Amino acid sequence: MNWFEMTELVKKYGFALVYTQDLKDSSKRTHWNAGLTLNNVDDLGFLSEQAPYLQETSELNTSQTFTSGYSNGGFMSYEIVNRPEIFRAAASISRTESLKPWNNRTFTQAVPIYSFLEGSIEWFHPLG
């Protein structure tokens, strides 16, 4: 939240922005369990429940819910687009997709993914 100041963009373009906090692992560091084996926390389930709750209580457009993350949050962005009925697109900053979500992908529809890697930008279509 402190690295990517978005307040002015939110004001200018009128969108809602939610910064979620992941849980601490056994070494007391926070991280998203994005198909990794560091813990058994169901972060995908948590975020998949949080988004519809926020959509309903804040009257947000369900067809315009997107995800973005930096580093481990970028991994998580790739993981949560496996719920395309909730998350319509993803932008990953400084992280590629880990092999587990890619190898276990079950996309039922195309989900746009934008990937920012070390000074390059890649457009990725998960179905091919």
Q: How far apart are CA 98 and CA 80, in angstroms?
A: 12
Q: Which residue has the higher pLDDT, 34 or 63?
A: 63
pLDDT in tens, 35-93: 777 777 888 899 999 999 999 999 999 999 998 888 888 888 888 888 889 999 888 88
pLDDT band at 127 (very low <50, low <70, confident <90, very high): very low
Please give the C-alpha separations between residue 5 and each of 9, 13, 55, 105, in angstroms, as whole numbers: 9, 14, 23, 32
Q: Which amino acid type is present at position 17?
A: L
> pTM of the prediction?
0.74
Domain boundaries in the chain? 7-124
pLDDT in tens, 1-24: 677 777 888 889 888 888 888 777
Give the tokens for residue 90. Answer: 């993803």
